[in-house]
Chains A and B, each alone.
Chain A
Amino acid sequence: MPHSPLLASLGRHKLTVLLMVMQVALTCAIVCNVAAILGHRITQLSLPSGVAEDELVMLESISVDASTDPLVRHDTDLAALRQLPGVRSAAAVDALPFNSNNWSNGISLVPKGDARLTATAFNGTPGELATLGLRLAAGRDFLPEEYLPLGAAQDWTGINKVPSTIVTSALAQQLFPGQDPLGKVIYPGDGPVRIVGVVDHLLRPTLDETAGNEYATVFPMLPDDGRVTYVMRTAPQDRERVLQQAMARLAQLDSNRVLRRPQTFAQLREDYFRRDRTMISLLLAAAFGLLLVTAAGIAGLASFWVQQRRRSIGIRRAVGATRHDILRYVQAENFLIVSGGVLLGAALAYALNVMLMQRYALQRLPAFYVPLGAAALWLLGQLAVLGPARRAAAVPPVVATRSG
């Protein structure tokens, strides 16, 4: 297919072609960035929390009566909860992935040193690991003698005395790259804390855009606040029933307290990501809308040009061009326009990304999104032009003999 007449013909519609190229470029730039944001959000949405998500239910208890010892009350409550049919294990905890109760400490590797990073402290009663379903990749669970009260009433001084911790492998990697973290010492508070175990995953209570979403430390510290979350592990089909029974049982044990947010872990996760899901559907709608509008524009212009050029097409057919030639011609013309748009669009995509990175906490555009966007637009252009191209190919040579 010789391209010179093609270029010459496009040259006669400079302004129209320019507008089309700009539209494709802008669409390409926006769609690439939208796709990158989408990819990132979907990745966050599907991050493994590390806990047995399908088997956990929880509820919050806030005591009103300050006179009873929280440690005693938690033990009583837990003993009652473990008695409920279907409850495999139960624990009192403060933080959970997605529950937004984030108590972070600066972690240093020397006493009184500068913090290397901050990590969330997860505290709970014995059996927390088993209840949450955390998987130990190395090391051991806490020993009964390691547990001590959190000291909420004394400004959480437990953190200065706690002897041991279990960390996530992400945190271990960051603190001790390439080394065995077991037995290493960290300083989340005043005193040394020995790493006795490593779990493969545990997400922090709130996620952010940084790499530290799994910087978590589990401590053998007993929540001794008036406010605590009871987590129970049960079979997936028993979750709703266990929750109801747990509410009733706890209210019966002590009615002078607030019981709230009874929910399954699945609900907790769903609530946490509700905004992200809205955003994902909006981004999808925007991307589809953009591509649709651009496709409609391409198709509209192409069919318009075909109408306008019926006579020229007829002449070309009359002097020997096959239907196939005409089809290829229209397709090649579209390919040329879209290519111009895609080239410009790739540059624009990066420019837009730099702008977005400055204004919002967005990450760099991963390189593969641009060729992906380009391929999508080429394909879209070819699909959009198929109808008009076939109509062009169907123009009979006899049209050449008619005037105007």
Chain B
Amino acid sequence: MLGYYASIAASSFRKNKALATLMVLVIGLGIGASMTMITVFHVLSGDPLPGRSEHLFVPVIDPRPLDRSPSAGTPSMDGNFTWPDALNLLHAARADHQAAMAGGAVPVRPMQGAGLPFYETGRYTTADFFAMFGTPFLSGGGWTAEDDAQRARVVVLGHALSRKLFGEGPAVGRTVRFKDVDFRVIGVLDDWQPQPQFYAQMDSRAFGRSDQFFLPLQTALDLKLDFVGRLSCWGDSGDGRTSDQCSWLQFWVQLDNPAKVAAYRAFITGYWREQQSHGRLPRPVDARLYGLMDWLAYQHAIPDDLRLQLSLSVGFLLVCMLNVMGLLLATFLRRGGEISVRRALGARRRDIFLQLGVESSVIGLTGGLLGVLVALFGLWSVRQRPDGYAQLAHMDPGMLLATFALALITGALAGLLPAWRACRIAPALQLKTQ
């Protein structure tokens, strides 16, 4: 029966070629535009660290003073820590792993002595970083808490920087010169580029960025290496980076089970209260603990512009659907005569409904095919953008299936109302008037 309906559909489209083409085009554009953005979103909202993310948390303690007037443009909570608070939580060591970190940038001297030094970005962090995030080492390993305390001049290199400095030869044990200080290479990471770079401060460059070196935070502070990222200060404090009135550090903890999560939450609440008794952290106690994925959502890891584009494309699809709905209704009602003849010959309402449903699904599917092409083009154009997320915008088999599903659903939904209206045509009346 469905085959018969499909052939009726085909003949009806042949009769109304222009209109059928218009409907297919409109559905194709709508599906293509929305699937482009849905795919970009799907790719960007993926888990940057599968298998580990559910155990990783960001504690948030708001160190700012109370009196800051709102007109001064208080930035939203970025979750950054002051140096004393980060140090206290590190030393308390209540989590399975904990690490403080900040972005850094240093001039690197090329080994062969030729050419100007070049700039490289990386991370200043503490010992647990590698174990907590499960970074894959090509050779060597990270440093210890002891190295942190002793401000050891050791460094873990990214694969790309290691290759740039030492070629394919072994790097561990060799010396690299950052600014005017020698560091001993103790490890080389395999390509490790979680997208977005979740552990850094979220900004418009969270996607596409990677770190090429890691060295102890206290060493960097000691040597006054250059930091990257937001430093917010308040009050009239003394020494910037180590002051308890400047926040700039990111802090992550690993908590392996829900009981530990609850315990840690209680711990940081207690910490905040305790600090208040020393006259610090004047804001009302509201210690929070965000899971990795919640943190990304809270920090708007996906740029607002992209969200707006997604809403826009869905709105566009909605208009396209209304458009096709109207056109389908007009075509179905035009065929009132034909329908009433079929009804008079014994077709039930649901036969008519099914027949018209098949017709709209054919439109939907054909539109979907076109939509896939439009989406492929759309994703290509997204990849041409200069943003860090651009290179991630690829169609995968799952999204391809989703595209067809969306097309089919759109077609069926667009056909539902018109088919329902058309199958209510009374046989006798239509025969008489024609």
Chain A interfacial residues counted at CB < 8 A = 64
B330 adjacent to A301 (CB under 8 Å): yes
Q: B142-150, B151-159, B190-198, B307-315: which lies at the A interface?
A: B307-315
Bits for B293-318, please: 1 = Cβ < 8 Å to A, else 0: 00000000000110111011101101
Q: Contacts A16-B329, A66-B180, A275-B305; is A114 near B69 (CB within 8 Å)?
A: yes
Please indicate the chain B residues that have their CB under 8 angstroms from the CB of A260 in the complex.
119
Please indicate the chain B residues that have their CB under 8 angstroms from the CB of A226 in the complex.
226
Bits for B421-434, please: 1 = Cβ < 8 Å to A, else 0: 10000000000001
Please indicate the chain B residues that have their CB under 8 angstroms from the CB of A356 in the complex.
308, 311
Chain B, interface SS category: helix
Please indicate the chain A residues that have their CB under 8 angstroms from the CB of B434 in the complex.
404
How many Å lie between the Cα of A297 and that of B329 in the bound state?
12
Chain A residue, CB-CB nearest to B305: A279
A114 adjacent to B67 (CB under 8 Å): yes
Please indicate the chain A residues that have their CB under 8 angstroms from the CB of B417 in the complex.
15, 19
Please indicate the chain A residues that have their CB under 8 angstroms from the CB of B18 in the complex.
300
Q: A26-34, A42-50, A73-81, A89-97: which lies at the B interface?
A: A26-34
B174 CB within 8 Å of chain A: no
Bits for A293-316, please: 1 = Cβ < 8 Å to B, else 0: 110110011001101100000000
Chain B residue, CB-CB nearest to A104: B73
Interface residues on B, range: 35 or more
B179 CB within 8 Å of chain A: yes
A278 adjacent to B385 (CB under 8 Å): yes
Bits for B324-347, please: 1 = Cβ < 8 Å to A, else 0: 011101110110000000000000
A375 CB within 8 Å of chain B: no
Please indicate the chain A residues that have their CB under 8 angstroms from the CB of B333 in the complex.
13, 16
A64 adjacent to B180 (CB under 8 Å): yes
How many Å lie between the Cα of A279 and that of B304 in the bound state?
11
Interface positions, chain A 265-299, Cβ under 8 Å from B, are 274-275, 278-279, 282-283, 286, 289-290, 293-294, 296-297
Q: Contacts A62-B107, A64-B107; is A255 near B116 (CB within 8 Å)?
A: yes
Q: Contacts A64-B107, A257-B117, A278-B385; is A16 near B323 (CB within 8 Å)?
A: no
Chain A residue, CB-CB nearest to B181: A66
B372 CB within 8 Å of chain A: no
Please indicate the chain A residues that have their CB under 8 angstroms from the CB of B164 in the complex.
none
Q: Contacts A30-B312, A304-B334; is A210 near B116 (CB within 8 Å)?
A: no
Please indicate the chain B residues that have their CB under 8 angstroms from the CB of A65 in the complex.
180
Please indicate the chain A residues that have their CB under 8 angstroms from the CB of B72 in the complex.
106, 114-118
How many Å lie between the Cα of A116 and that of B421 in the bound state?
63
B69 adjacent to A290 (CB under 8 Å): no
Chain B residue, CB-CB nearest to A155: B240
Bits for B363-388, please: 1 = Cβ < 8 Å to A, else 0: 00000000000000000000001110
Chain A residues engaging chain B, CB cutoff 8 angstroms: 13, 15-16, 19-20, 22-23, 26-27, 30, 34, 37, 62-67, 106, 112, 114-118, 153, 155-156, 190, 210, 212, 226-227, 251, 255-260, 274-275, 278-279, 282-283, 286, 289-290, 293-294, 296-297, 300-301, 304-305, 307-308, 356, 359-361, 404
